[in-house]
Amino acid sequence: MSMAGPDGHWTARAACGQGKVAPDALFVEGAAQRDARSVCGACVVRMECLADALDSRADFGVWGGMTERERRALRRRRPEVESWWDELFGPDRPGGPDAGDPAGASAAPQALAT
């Protein structure tokens, strides 16, 4: 089963996409980040979003349920990681960061804990 939307990209399935959330709602500071993160809670492509944000070094906003501060801290803790997509889903996972195939998504949170 592919997580890609009709356009073939995982973002088409994102809980924050397609006008569901105001464009600036995920680019907030302070206490408002808690509300922004809540959008990610039940998102079916949360880990794809996080891997994409980590690989592209997105510096602003909430991506995959993590703030920019949390993502920076994770990158500092794991400087050896060259590809977060490979780290979270495995290098042989079909689809890659642009397709968002869910195979192996349940194992992704364990990679973040190390």
Task: Measure the CA–CA gap between 50 and 62, rounded to whole angstroms.
Answer: 9
Q: How many CB atoms lie within 10 A of CB 3?
A: 20
Confirm whether residue 43 is marked as ligand binding.
Answer: yes
Confirm whether residue 62 is marked as ligand binding.
Answer: no
Confirm whether residue 40 is marked as ligand binding.
Answer: yes
Coil, strand or helix at 50 = helix
For 5, the token pair is 């939307």
Extract the annotated binding site for [4Fe-4S] cluster. Answer: 16, 40, 43, 49
Annotated binding-site positions: 16, 40, 43, 49
